[in-house]
Amino acid sequence: MPAIEVSNLQRAFSAEVLAVAGIDLEVAEGEIYAFLGPNGAGKTTTVRMLTTLLRPTGGTARVAGFDVVDEPAAVRSAIGVALQEAALDPLMTGRELIRMQATLHGIARDEGRRRADDLLRRVGLTEAGDRRVGTYSGGMKRRLDLASSLVHEPRVLFLDEPTTGLDPVSRKSIWEEVEALNREGTTVFLTTQYLEEADQLADRVGIIAKGRIVAEDTPTALKTQVGKPRMEIVLAKGERSDCVDVLGGFGELLPPKDGKLMLEVAEGAAAIAPVVRALDEAGIVVESLDVVEPTLDDVFVDKTGQHLEGAEPGEPDTGEEAAAG
Amino acid sequence: MRTFAVVVELGRRSVRQTFRRPQLMAPLLIIPTLLLAVQSAGAGRAVDLPGFPPVESFFDFLLAGAMVQAALLAGNSGGIAMAIDIEMGFTDRLLAAPIPRFAIVAGRLAGTAAVGAVIAVWFLAIGVVFGATIEEGVLGALVMIVLVMLAALAFGTLGAALALRTGSASVVQGTFPLVFVILFLSTAFFPDDLLLEPAQTIAQVNPLSFVVTAVRDPVISEWSMGELAAGLAATLLIGAVGLWLCSAALKRRLRMG
Amino acid sequence: MDRGLDSDIETIRALVRRSANELIRVPGAAVPGVLAPTIFFLGLTAVFGSLTLLPGFTTDSYASFMIPVSMLQGAGFTGAAMGVNLARDIELGLFDRFLASPAPRWVLLTGLVISAAIRSIIPSTAVFVIALAVGAHFPGPLGLLIAYVCVMGTATIAACWSAIIALKFKTQSASPLMQTVMLAAVLCTTAYAPQELLTGWLATVAEYNPFTQVVDATRQGFVGGVSWDGTWPAIVVILALTALLGAFALRGMRRTAY
Ligand SMILES: Nc1ncnc2c1ncn2[C@@H]1O[C@H](COP(=O)(O)OP(=O)(O)OP(=O)(O)O)[C@@H](O)[C@H]1O
Ligand SMILES: [Mg+2]
């Protein structure tokens, strides 16, 4: 049984705003699935529907084997949720918050106390546990929110943009925690605007834009879909016609860009040595040589014609900005 | 005239602000209207009490009190809006701009005065619909509008002074109950002869009583120049004190940076 | 799910404790709730005190006549304040934490309502003590008990009403609607004078306004003797309005996150 099973899920807020326009997806038990998309793509709306906070206007979704509309209580017992804003009551202490969450899940008092201690230790908040949440930093709040969502050992964990706005160190610590949880068997559904996050964490990535999934696969497969790694070569004395013959044997030559020769090389960086050697033997002097791996942003551009946040602006093929830089 | 244009612009902004935020405008009209409705009928037999001045109805008597009450609340809510401006840094931007300092206060007050006019018209309309007779007719009504506008302006200076002094919307909001203290200790709801002590003594010297009496005069009786003059003087006094407090608070704010 | 009544009660306790934080941990948080009914009580008593001179007025102490109204007004404001807090929690996304948990929705509502009922004791007791100090009659133990039942019942009704509004508009800007309606409900009764002395529209409205029963029941001990006949209509009103408004509030909760 898949942990999450979504079929043609839709949410309209009005006749014009179709925030989620019919998505299908399946997340296997034990998987980390990342929803990657820019602002307004429909990530939060999807998460809210899957966590029973928002009623779908079409389609069906089952989480942990339960239908989100017909069996919301069962879904709620099986899932942990950390929403985008990490909304925490500033007047409560971290420990109180986790214990309240335990109570909400029907966990007995002693057990709740024990789990609060464990979880605070786990996310490194033992010291701060008795301080009011109002005094926490953004990263601490995120970690507390994550800890509180784990109190009932959920089978499926939903994290809506768990690291947005965090510094690299805090981000790293959340990633490690998510990976550890996943090793312990928790299925994770997370949303993110960060390519790196999806790339690092996810077993599979769904790229969402304007309420639709435009691509979905493992990060590696997605990247190979848009193209093989390519080598960008700049020659010392401008272009020489014979280099085409030399390079042609290594892979397909793409149209040159900004005076760079573009060579598609299936084996990536491993092709550097043979290529350099061959050029050298032909007496062609190389000024620079780079292997560029496709990124999820390339996938995104390929599927939507737009860039994700944090990726370089502008269409790579027009070349204007790239030439200036 | 540039300064004038600035004041008009700021005034327009403050009116817009008030009308667009129902949570600012609603209490201003609804609470006095509700109290007017409930008290005029709940204590309507008060007019039978020995010593009650001759009026057509208790509703006629209370109309002016409701107007002045709303004007007080307008001054308070103008102060809240100004404190929000300060909290959000809007006032600092104005202070940094090449406009005279008083334009900032004047803009806010212009807005409050406009709200005062709306209040007066609202209650006059209610008065007419629910059968009040304004003894002095259209001219009386116009005088009432002017008086209520001036009263809102005067109370506005107090609200603005508090906002400038504290810079905190929640502090200004916290003085909301004070509005009712001042009202209950005046002749806004009842003639002073019939108030219990110590309210009676306080009401007799409370400037607000004079303001209310002046606004009430055209409704319940023929012109009395003495009452009109006393009301205007009380309004001026409140406004002068408020302006003085404003300028002190503004100076302090600039000094403290 | 193995959720038993025990965990439901435990959850309600946790919700009440959280709501109490606000009073305990924010300095001065209880002051506005006490101040408003106190000012109204003292003010209205001083202003309209001479009404007792009217023939047919049921008591010679306007303070005794007005204190029940002020206690109920304090309860209404307290209930409305709980609705404002709910709206704030919804705005901030805090309420999602509760909605996404398996706690039954009636448990969430009950937590809110019980908080309101308990908190309403603070302003009503404060204004009651002040009233005694300025000469209101002591209502007797039974009269006082009835008064507090009515106070907590009114707070419950106000909390349900305000929860409906909060869940519908999901913004604190809707607070005037919560407070004003409760104020109107309590004042459009025999608040200022006995039924026979009311005039105009209010004479009719007060007769049919169910809160008149609550005001009159609360008032019994202060202006005369208590009787079962003077009490049961108030209890019926409280139970009926709580059931009705509670059902709508639950529906609102289910609409927010079914
Ligand atoms: N309650 C609502 N009412 C109306 N429109 C809404 C509502 N919630 C979301 N939307 C709209 O639905 C679309 C998707 O929003 P959503 O919050 O799901 O995006 P997101 O991918 O989570 O974006 P972000 O990265 O900014 O969090 C947006 O156009 C948004 O304006
Ligand atoms: Mg989002």
Residues A66, A212, single domain; the answer is yes
Tell me if B31 sits within 8 A of C180, measured CB to CB.
yes
Residues A217, A233, single domain; the answer is no
CA atoms within 13 A on the CB side of B235: 25
pLDDT of A314 strictly over 60: no
CB of A93 within 6 A of ligand 1: the answer is no
Q: What is the pLDDT confidence band of residue C213, given thresholds at 50, 70 and 90?
A: very high
The pTM of this model reads: 0.85
Which residues place a Cβ less than 5 A from the ion ligand 2?
A 43-44, 84
Q: Has residue A218 been placed in a domain?
A: yes
Residues A80, A12, single domain; the answer is yes
Return the percentage of chain C with pLDDT > 70, whole number.
Answer: 98
Shortest-distance atom of ligand 1 to CA A11: 12
Between CA C99 and CA C97 the distance in angstroms is 6
Over range A10-15, report the average pLDDT: 91
Residues A91, A207, single domain; the answer is yes
The verdict on a CB contact (< 8 Å) between C100 and A89 is no
Chosen from B184, B200, B202 to mutate, greatest number of chain C CBs within 10 A: B184
Domain residues for the domain of C83 are 3-255
Between CA C18 and CA C12 the distance in angstroms is 10
pLDDT by residue (tens digit) across A110-119?
A: 999 999 999 9
The verdict on a CB contact (< 8 Å) between A89 and C102 is no
Name the residue of chain C whose CA is nearest to B190's CA.
Answer: C47
pLDDT by residue (tens digit) across A38-84?
A: 888 999 999 999 999 999 999 999 999 999 999 999 999 999 999 88
User: B-chain residues within 8 Å CB-CB of C184?
Assistant: 34, 38
The amino acid at A77: S
Domain boundary among A167, A198, A223: A223
User: C-chain residues within 8 Å CB-CB of B42?
Assistant: 187, 191-193, 198, 202
Tell me if A19 sits within 8 A of A59, measured CB to CB.
no
Query: In the structure encoding, which two tokens stand for residue B101, read together?
Result: 């300092």
The verdict on a CB contact (< 8 Å) between B195 and C51 is no
**Number of domains present in the structure of chain C:** 1
Distance A44 CA to ligand 2 centre (A): 4
Residue B229's CB is within 10 A of a number of other CB atoms, namely 12
3-state secondary structure C191-224: CCCCHHHCCHHHHHHHHHCHHHHHHHHHHHHHHC
Q: What is the pLDDT confidence band of residue C257, given thresholds at 50, 70 and 90?
A: low
Cβ-proximal residues to C242 (8 Å cutoff; 6+ apart), any chain: C113, C153, C156, C157, C160
Q: For residues B69-90, b (16+ Cβ closer than 10 Å) or e, as one string?
A: bbbbbbbbbbbbbbbbbbeeee
Q: Phi and psi dihedrals of B186, rounded to 5?
A: -135, -175
Q: Phi and psi dihedrals of C94, rounded to 5?
A: -65, -35
Residues A61, A20, single domain; the answer is yes
Alpha helices in C54-135, H assignment, sequence order: 62-92, 94-99, 105-119, 121-133
For residue C245, what pLDDT is reported? Answer: 96
The amino acid at A232: E
User: C-chain residues within 8 Å CB-CB of A109?
Assistant: 10
Cβ-proximal residues to B171 (8 Å cutoff; 6+ apart), any chain: B83, B162
pLDDT by residue (tens digit) across B79-109?
A: 888 888 888 888 788 777 777 777 888 888 8
pLDDT of A317 strictly over 70: no
Name the residue of chain A whose CA is nearest to C85's CA.
Answer: A89
Domain residues for the domain of A253 are 228-292
Residues A136, A45, single domain; the answer is yes
Residue ID of nearest Cα to ligand 1 atom 26: A39
Q: Has residue A178 been placed in a domain?
A: yes
Between CA A26 and CA C154 the distance in angstroms is 50
**Number of domains present in the structure of chain A:** 2
Residues A123, A169, single domain; the answer is yes
Distance A37 CA to ligand 1 centre (A): 12
Q: Has residue A301 been placed in a domain?
A: no
For residue C2, what pLDDT is reported? Answer: 54
- Whether the ipTM is more than 0.90: the answer is no
Q: What is the DSSP letter of A288?
A: E
Domain boundary among A190, A223, A256: A223
Shortest-distance atom of ligand 1 to CA A45: 18
CATH number at residue A241: 3.30.70.980
For residue A234, what pLDDT is reported? Answer: 83
Q: Has residue A172 been placed in a domain?
A: yes
Name the residue of chain C whose CA is nearest to A100's CA.
Answer: C14
Hey, is B28 helix, strand or coil?
Answer: helix
Calculate how close chain C gets to A276, using CA atoms only, in Å: 58
Shortest-distance atom of ligand 1 to CA A41: 21
Residues A176, A254, single domain; the answer is no
Q: Has residue A311 been placed in a domain?
A: no
Sheet arrangement for strand A230-235: A253-257, A260-264, A230-235, A286-292
Q: Has residue A299 been placed in a domain?
A: no
The number of residues in chain A equals 325
The verdict on a CB contact (< 8 Å) between A85 and C25 is no
